[in-house]
Amino acid sequence: MNMTLDKLVVRRIYAVNTIRHRRPVKMTRRDRHLSALAYKTSGESVYTGGGVSCVSDPAHLVLIPPNVPYSIDVAETGTCYMIEFECAAELDAFQSFPVTDPDGTEKLFRNLCDVWAMHAAGYEAACMSCAYEIFYKVHVGAIKVRYTGKRAVLEPAMEFLKTHLSDPGLCNAALAERAAVSEVYFRKLFTEEYGVSPMQYVRTLRIEKAKDMLLGDYSSVAAIAEVTGFASVYSFCRAFKSTTGLTPTEYSRHSRRVKTK
């Protein structure tokens, strides 16, 4: 199963290593039982397994699945950081991810190695935090690489949407203005890129936020409707039931019963 780094869930980190080969070498491995993330900050290595070849170099890191025999061709010597971990989801394919900030990414890997090596109190939690910071940095960088053409036009509108999601007055016209295009073209562009209309996208985000709030200490449906940007309790309840099949109150009760089982 292919995995985006923002969806990668680590159950436990077992080792963090710094590998330095002094000369080019070719190796094979058949007994890997853990997943791994390899990042070569200098030089180049090619991982080949399951019919896929992935390059690890300063511009790419490689996600290695468990239980898949593979070969490593260290074409150019250099420093490689390797995180050995157990993943919550099943991985069965090698994947390469672009690194847009090599210096910043290398710094994060060095920090992770230092924390792991010291084994100070709380180091496992600290290492997990470092690993997720790496995942996030690489994932966001990859998204920005794709922000060309249509996505680049929409980016100012998306930034505005993030900070005004709870504004009942948020509308196509306001978003189109931030993107500096006509409202008609904005709706067309947005739907092509995201698969739904802008307002449907906004409603989905608001409903997801409302679902989170219904699991917390907000006792008033009216308060949640206001905070999530719906113009009225009626419009909120109607949209919520249309999306989830439950009223907000029913959803809250059902979710809490499930969590207590």
- pLDDT tens string, the chain, 261 residues long: the values are 677 888 899 999 999 999 988 888 999 999 899 999 999 999 999 999 989 999 999 999 999 999 999 999 998 889 999 999 999 888 889 999 999 899 999 999 999 999 999 999 999 999 999 999 999 999 887 766 665 667 788 989 999 999 999 999 999 999 999 999 999 999 999 998 888 999 999 999 999 999 988 887 766 899 999 999 999 999 999 999 999 999 998 898 877 665 555
pLDDT at 253: 82
SS (H, E, C) 42-59: CCEEEEEECCEEEEEECC
Residues 6+ apart with CB under 8 A from 251: 211, 214, 240, 244
pLDDT at 245: 93
Cβ atoms of 117 and 81 closer than 8 Å: no
DSSP-derived pairing of the beta strands 70-76 and 10-20: unpaired
pLDDT at 1: 64
d(CA 114, CA 7): 26
Cβ atoms of 68 and 35 closer than 8 Å: no
Among 128, 54, 41, 130, which Cα is nearest to 86's?
Answer: 128
Q: Which two tokens stand for residue 27?
A: 């190796």
pLDDT at 35: 94
Residue 6 is classified by DSSP as G
Residues 6+ apart with CB under 8 A from 165: 202, 205, 206, 209, 228, 229
Cβ atoms of 2 and 96 closer than 8 Å: no
d(CA 31, CA 28): 10
pLDDT at 151: 79
Set out the domains of the chain in order of their start, with CATH numbers.
5-145 (2.60.120.280), 150-260 (1.10.10.60)
